[in-house]
A and B are shown apart, each in its own frame.
Chain A
Amino acid sequence: MPLHAYLVLAALVFVIGLFGVLTRRNAVGILLGIELMLNAVNINLVAFSRFRADLAGLIFTLFTIAITVAEVAVGLAIVIVIFRVRRTIEADHLDLLRG
């Protein structure tokens, strides 16, 4: 399969993740969308690494995975705290950013 096939597949997964981030009301749901987007990036990195015979892409993928795990852990901890405080994780009700 050519490189383009992998890239298009990654782009598709990416926009699906974006769609999830944009439309989910639940904070955990948004987090799942973000996971999909990061995953798509990983596919891109690995594909480029393979087709350019460059190891750096693989190493970046490893780093991304590790960072993603950390991000999920922190993100979920935050979700739990928000839930404790506001009794909801509906993103519609989380508008503390409003000035």
Chain B
Amino acid sequence: MRIGSPELALLVLALPFASFLAIGLIRPLRRRGRPAAAVSILAMAGAFLTAGAMSWQGIPVARGLNPAVLWSWLPADGGPMASVGVWVDGMAMQMCVLVTLVSLLVQVYSWSYLADEPPPSLGRYYAYQSLFAFSMLGLVLSPGFLQMFVFWELVGLCSYLLIGYWYDRPSAAQAAVKAFWITKLGDLGFVAGIVMLWSGTGTFDFWPLFQAAEGGALHVDGLTTIMFLIYLGAVGKSAQFPLHVWLPDAMEGPTPVSALIHAATMVTAGVYMVARAYPLFALVPSVLTLIAWVGAFTALLAATMACVERDIKRVLAYSTVSQLGYMMAANGAGAPEAAFQHLTTHGVFKALLFLGAGIVIHHFHTNDVFRMGGLFGQRPWVGGSFLVATLALAGVWPLPGFFSKEAVLAGVLHAHLSVPFLMLLATSFLTAFYMFRVVFLAFFGHAPVHHEHPEPPVAMDAVCRALAVLTLALGLRAAVASHHVEGPAWLPWISLTWAFAGIALAWATYQAGRLDPARLAAAFAPIDFLARRRYFLDDIYGGTYRLLLLGLSRVVGWVDRYVVDGVLNALSAGALRAGDALRRIQTGQPQDYVYGVALGVLLLLVWAQLG
């Protein structure tokens, strides 16, 4: 276990926050757009360097040392109710590096991607970006559940703001609201869980909780319920079944925002939280099993939906849901290290995939993969970068996805969860298939119509190349280090076989033309039918929403119209009539008022007499 310098951690937090404040409060800076972007990018670069230095400097310590620096918060009788601070262990530092790196690259990329935006909007965008990075870093460095919840909600708010960045588009506004509400559904469980945990133990802080949990001294009634409720928060944030429906819609935001949400912030928060609180989850095996099953099921379900999607960004969105399922399954199988490893590697290559997809969309002026083709020949660098990321996602040696997936699979197998293991294996086959379906359709084959294709802007291109190099480097490092994964020797071979089988099927269907896609779909008719309709989940939610909310509002509306308004109308009519009667005595002549005074005196006299 390593810990880093808390001062540097505070600096990492302070830089994006200062940038947010500067852009948010200094109106001319925000309205001019470009300077705001420069401020934000510089702050982010500083934060990235600081996070790197912090990680580099981290000193190994014995396990029993508290990695948190705390300040008391919420003073109450008998000591503070909660504390704030920073928690800088190895996982937090690694996560800080990932978040700052992806945020930095996304912000640089956005500089070109959003070049046509009006300056005030651009300033707003970078203010949100800075706040988003700050919120996610705060969440990562949280030393307790309460602070984590605060930043958790801030992350949700920022994703709402960024998904709805083009708020004048109805679909974007709707997607933002959907993302907000569905994640809030999970957050209800989260907040209830941490409050129950607090009432049972009297603290929100991780350190005393973990100490007690590992020492077997944590005795809380209904811990299973509490941990299940906390897990619900992760279900919403990390888009687990059945709350995954918001993530594909979140594609309505600008593509760099999707990259940020999918790679480093927002969706990873749930996985990170479960991995962080693993010592507590370890006490409740039933919840862990549930997490593993739900994760594996989510992975498989999302993968089938990705296979039939035509929109390149939605394919990537479903692949994110699917990979989040992987991570959660690893968490549930008792291998949070594997989950975290997959989180970081996935963060890098998923950012690359989204940013590459941004260039692809920019190139073809469409999201539909069936109207693309032949990009590899025209833009070999873009194609190469995208291909590297795709191979990484498919889990091909020696790319980082291979190692982290293997770790996940080994963890699940080790926990004797055979059905989830098979589901994850099937998912890895489907992952390879749907990703190479996109690659073959968009990068090979023939371009349907020849447009005037602009050269991709330098910044966007450079960011993609940097990420591709980083992906390769991560994979090679893992290969050289020959990190030993606990698992049977056949595991890497079987996962590789499945991956190549998926690639081969995609090649045969979409590149070589050996198989007719329609016949392939017919072979899996029921699944195809359901996947194309997204398993009717959106319809079910919509129906439930209509039934419950609209029904309720109709009842409320009736009550309002006839009961509340009726009473009010009667009252106001009475008041009007009384006013009409009363205004007659307002003659405006002082003497008539003297009559009133004299009558009042008389009344007082009589009253005093009677009393």
Contact = CB atoms under 8 A, between A and B. Distances in A.
B598 A96 contact: no
B591 interface: yes
A21 interface: yes
A92 to B, nearest CB: 7
Given A91-B590, A91-B591, A95-B588, 20 more contacts: A18-B594, A18-B598, A21-B594, A22-B591, A22-B598, A23-B591, A24-B591, A92-B589, A94-B588, A94-B589, A94-B590, A95-B587, A95-B589, A96-B588, A97-B586, A97-B588, A98-B587, A98-B589, A99-B583, A99-B586
A90 B391 CA distance: 103
27 contacts: A18-B594, A21-B591, A21-B594, A22-B591, A22-B594, A22-B595, A22-B598, A23-B591, A24-B591, A30-B590, A30-B591, A91-B589, A91-B590, A92-B589, A94-B588, A94-B589, A94-B590, A95-B587, A95-B588, A96-B588, A97-B586, A97-B588, A97-B589, A97-B593, A98-B587, A98-B588, A99-B588
Interface string B173-202: 000000000000000000000000000000
A60 to B, nearest CB: 20
Contacts of A98: 586-589
Interface in B20-69: none
Contact of A97 (B590, B595, B598): B590
Contacts of B591: 21-24, 30, 91
Contacts of B594: 18, 21-22
Which A-B residue pairs are the 7 nearest by beta carbons? A98-B588, A95-B588, A97-B588, A95-B589, A21-B594, A91-B591, A22-B594
Nearest to B593: A97
Contacts of A97: 586, 588-590, 593
Interface of A: 18, 21-24, 30, 91-92, 94-99
Interface in B261-318: none
B182 to A, nearest CB: 56
Contacts of B595: 22
Contacts of B586: 97-99
Contacts of B589: 91-92, 94-95, 97-98
Bin the interface of chain B by size.
Answer: 10 to 19
Max chain A C-beta neighbours (<10 A), residue from B586, B587, B591, B594: B591
A92 B590 CA distance: 9
B603 to A, nearest CB: 15
Interface of B: 583, 586-591, 593-595, 598
A41 to B, nearest CB: 13
A99 B579 CA distance: 12
Contacts of A94: 588-590
A63 B425 CA distance: 105
A30 B591 CA distance: 9
A23 B586 CA distance: 18
A94 B593 CA distance: 13
Nearest to B595: A22
Contacts of A92: 589
A24 B598 CA distance: 15
Contacts of B590: 30, 91, 94, 97
Nearest to A30: B591
A99 B584 CA distance: 11
Contacts of A99: 583, 586, 588
Contacts of B583: 99
A54 B282 CA distance: 91
Nearest to A95: B588
A7 B308 CA distance: 106
A99 B589 CA distance: 11
Contacts of A23: 591
Nearest to B601: A18
A22 B589 CA distance: 11
Nearest to B588: A98
Contacts of A95: 587-589
Contacts of A21: 591, 594
Contacts of A91: 589-591
A25 to B, nearest CB: 9
Nearest to A21: B594
A46 B591 CA distance: 29
A94 B588 CA distance: 7
A22 B602 CA distance: 15
A29 to B, nearest CB: 11
Contacts of B587: 95, 98
A23 B594 CA distance: 10
A22 B598 CA distance: 9
Nearest to A96: B588
A92 B589 CA distance: 7
A12 to B, nearest CB: 15
A94 B591 CA distance: 10
Contacts of A18: 594, 598
Max chain A C-beta neighbours (<10 A), residue from B583, B589, B595: B589
A89 B198 CA distance: 79
A21 B598 CA distance: 11
Nearest to A18: B598
B25 to A, nearest CB: 48
B53 to A, nearest CB: 75
Nearest to A23: B591
Contacts of A24: 591
Nearest to B598: A18
A65 B587 CA distance: 32
Nearest to A19: B598
B56 to A, nearest CB: 80
A21 B590 CA distance: 10
A80 B587 CA distance: 23
A96 B586 CA distance: 11
A94 to B, nearest CB: 7
A39 to B, nearest CB: 17
A92 B598 CA distance: 19
B583 to A, nearest CB: 8
B330 to A, nearest CB: 78
A91 B590 CA distance: 8
A91 B594 CA distance: 12
A51 B56 CA distance: 101
A99 B586 CA distance: 8
A92 B588 CA distance: 9
Nearest to A93: B589
